[in-house]
Amino acid sequence: MGKLFGTDGVRGIVNRDLTVDLALKLGLAIGTYFGEGAKVLIGRDVRFGGEMLKYAVISGLLSAGVKVYDAGLVPTPCLQYNVKTENFDGGIMITASHNPPEYNGIKVIGSNGVEIPRSAEREIEEILFESRFKYTTWGNVVDEVHKYPNAIEKYVNGVLEHIDTDRVKSKRFNIVVDSANSVGILPVTLLARRLNVRVIAVNSNLDGAFPGREPEPTVSSLQETARIVKSLGADFGVGFDGDADRAIFIDDEGRIHWGDRSAAILCRYLIDKEGRRGRVYTAVSSSILVEEYLKPYGVEIVWLKVGSVDIAHAMLRDPNVLCGFEENGGFMYPKHQYVRDATMTLALMLELLSYDGRRLAEIFNELPQYIPLKTKIPMKREDAEKVIETLKERYKGQRIITIDGVKIMFKDSWILVRPSGTEPVLRIMAEAKSEERLKELISEVKNIINEVLGK
């Protein structure tokens, strides 16, 4: 049987991998999975091809007898929040998140607002590949798509329920927001008005080609935004990805921080905010600094494979969870919802600063300092697996985590090598206390990779 779902939904290049024909069949399979009469909320980000794919999916859903509600242009966490709180049976988000502009995708949300579990993804794939579609009868076809116009307002109201709004309003923060020409700016505008925050918007016009920068917020893609933050003397800056479930922060000195660093200080803040310790869930792609920084506060770190879906479902099973996150900027605050949520993360950072009293740069300076590096090598998955098995054997004397690829941890450094869940590449992430050690580690691992590949 074939496979459609990757790390987070079904993704592909529009009209090459992800066609209208596939979207229609996928909509019909999803409708069959949810069942006739189910209420499903659908939305999309600003990517080109989104409207075309949305209507193809809707056609499949209607053919299965599903009642469809259209939220229009919304961030993914906004759709998820409305699915959870407004008693929908499920949701579908048309997005490829951080992938390049030519990609789009289809993400399926369960009634709890969380992406459906892997078992449900396999069930939908089986329905599609085996053509086990359940068409509704002629008399039960619902020939209407209901408009759902207030999704963003309901979502922002939900975010603010968890924030000391008076405290934040009194500080009159000035921030720079880079929404990657996509939907993240929509809730931020309302949030800022409600919190008395002045927003300098960068790359905020909606454009499915993402002309301002790539839709993935990275150190390289946010350099110009970082210069703006520093030159304007803003309190901080934040960059969103294409569907606004990830937030990368820029401190007042113009330094861009990966999501595991911002998550570490937010986790520390939540200990005081909620008056309790708890378990923190994160992917193996996060830095070991989170252990170094949070363990003295009695926090247990649970390492999981890369992918917010797996982290979310692990958190759902734990009554003592504090939060979850990924190094890519995805932060999950379960008091709000068990999914990555850039707007909620932004609101928490504003609240943290309103109580701490220090500049964001000073707070980040408390963290252990590592020099990061990320790269990727084009590679077939079978070759990637050979590389990983070789690395496991070569470094079996070190502390290693093998839940997703192989993460090798040393006293002053670490490296993660894993196959991508969305592209035919081998991803390499590493950190070290010094540039010299980082170069040495990367060179050592690349030599092993070349050896395995016969180069």
Measured between alpha carbons, how far is 64 from 37 in angstroms, rounded to an integer?
9
- For residue range 293-318, what is the model confidence (pLDDT) as tens digits? 999 999 999 999 988 999 999 999 99
Please tell me which of 172-181, 214-223, 405-414, 428-437 the model is most confident about, judged by mean pLDDT.
172-181
Together in a domain, 129 and 144: yes
**Mean pLDDT of the 87-116 span:** 97
Together in a domain, 129 and 181: no
Looking at the domain assignment, is residue 2 inside a domain?
no
Together in a domain, 45 and 133: yes
**What does pLDDT average to over the chain?**
95
Looking at the domain assignment, is residue 142 inside a domain?
yes
Looking at the domain assignment, is residue 215 inside a domain?
yes
Together in a domain, 138 and 14: yes
- For residue range 9-25, what is the model confidence (pLDDT) as tens digits? 999 999 999 999 999 99
Beta strand pairing call for 425-432 and 413-419: antiparallel
The encoded tokens of residue 359 equal 């500049």
Residue-wise DSSP of 383-435: HHHHHHHHHHHHTTTSEEE-SSSEEEE-SSEEEEEEE-SSSSEEEEEEEESSH
Range of lowest pLDDT (39-53, 153-167, 411-425)? 411-425
Catalytic residue among 59, 63, 97, 204: 97
Boundary (domain end) residue, out of 347, 364, 381 = 364
Whether this prediction's pTM lies above 0.85 is answered by: yes
User: Total domain count for the chain?
Assistant: 3
Together in a domain, 69 and 90: yes
Active site annotation includes 97: yes
Sign of CA dihedral 337, 341, 104, 85: positive
Q: Evaluate if residue 455 carries a pLDDT over 80.
A: no
Together in a domain, 50 and 98: yes
Together in a domain, 340 and 251: yes
**Mean pLDDT of the 201-212 span:** 97
Cα of first residue to Cα of last residue in the chain, in angstroms, is 34
Tell me the helix, strand and coil percentages in the chain, rounded to 5: 40, 25, 35
The encoded tokens of residue 150 equal 């207030």
- For residue range 234-266, what is the model confidence (pLDDT) as tens digits? 999 999 999 999 999 999 999 999 999 999 999
Residue 416 is predicted with a pLDDT of 95
Residue 134 is predicted with a pLDDT of 97
Residue 454 is predicted with a pLDDT of 86
DSSP-derived letter for residue 452 is: H
CATH of the domain at 445: 3.30.310.50
CA distances from 234 to 202, 231, 366 (A): 13, 8, 21
CATH of the domain at 165: 3.40.120.10
Together in a domain, 169 and 133: no
Q: List phi, psi (to 5°) of 13.
A: -70, 130
Beta strands in 38-102 (DSSP E): 39-44, 67-73, 90-94
Beta strand pairing call for 300-304 and 321-325: unpaired
Q: Is 143 exposed, middle or buried (0-12, 13-18, 19+ CB in 10 A)?
A: exposed
365: phi > 0 → left, psi -120 to 50 → alpha, else beta; which? alpha
Boundary (domain end) residue, out of 341, 364, 387 = 364
20: phi > 0 → left, psi -120 to 50 → alpha, else beta; which? alpha
Q: Evaluate if residue 2 carries a pLDDT over 80.
A: no
Looking at the domain assignment, is residue 1 inside a domain?
no
Residue 411 is predicted with a pLDDT of 87
Q: List phi, psi (to 5°) of 395.
A: -110, 30
The encoded tokens of residue 376 equal 């990727």
**Mean pLDDT of the 386-390 span:** 95
Together in a domain, 320 and 258: yes
Burial profile 362-371: b = 16 or more Cβ within 10 angstroms, e = fewer: ebbeebeebe
The encoded tokens of residue 370 equal 């590592």
Q: What is the residue whose two structure tokens read 């949305």? A: 54
Residue 334 is predicted with a pLDDT of 97
Boundary (domain end) residue, out of 127, 148, 169 = 148
Looking at the domain assignment, is residue 118 inside a domain?
yes
Together in a domain, 119 and 266: no
Residues whose CB is less than 8 angstroms from the CB of residue 119 and which lie 6 or more positions away in sequence, other chains included: none
Looking at the domain assignment, is residue 234 inside a domain?
yes
Looking at the domain assignment, is residue 5 inside a domain?
no
Residue pair 260/378 in contact by the 8 Å Cβ criterion: no
Residue 208 is predicted with a pLDDT of 97
Together in a domain, 285 and 309: yes
Looking at the domain assignment, is residue 332 inside a domain?
yes
Measured between alpha carbons, how far is 39 from 225 in angstroms, rounded to an integer?
40
Domain of 170, in residue numbers: 154-364
Together in a domain, 59 and 135: yes
**Mean pLDDT of the 167-189 span:** 98
